[in-house]
Chains A and B, each alone.
Chain A
Amino acid sequence: MNQKTFFAFIGPSVLMMVIFIALPLATVLKQSFYVTQPVYQTLEVETCTPNFTGQVCVKEIKTIPTIGDNGKVITQTSFVGLVNYQNVLELPRVIKAFANNSWQQFISIDFWKALRFTLSFTLITLPLVLFFGLVIALCINNVAKSIRGPVIFVSLLPMIITPVIGALSIRWLFIGDGILTSFLEWWLVRDISMFAQAWTIELMMMFYRVWHVAPFAAIVFYAGLQTVNQDTVESAIIDGASRWQKLRYVILPHLMPLIVFVTLIHLMDAYRVFEEVVGFSSQAHVISLQWLTYDFLTSDLMGNRSIGRASASSMLTMIGIVLLLIPVLRGVWIDYKGKRL
Chain B
Amino acid sequence: MTENPGAPVLELPASESTGERRMVINMGPQHPATHGVLRLVVELDGEIIVSVRPEIGYLHTGIEKTCEAKFYQQVVPLTDRINYLDPLSNNLCYCLAVEKLLDLEIPERAQWIRVLLTELSRLNSHLIWLGTHAMDIGALTVFLYTFREREEILRLFEAVAGQRMMTSYFRIGGLAMEPPLGWLDRVQAFIHGFPEKIDEYSNLLTGNPIFMNRLKGVGYLSAADAIALGVTGPPLRASGVDIDLRRDMPYSSYEKFQFKVPISTVGDTWARYEVRLVEMRESTKIVQQALDGMPGGAVKADAPKIVLPDREKMKTQMEALIHHFKIVTEGFNVPAGEVYQGMECGHGQMGYYVVSDGTAKPYRVHMRYPSFATLQAVETMCKGRLIADLVAVIGSIDIVLGEIDR
Indicate whether A and B interact: no
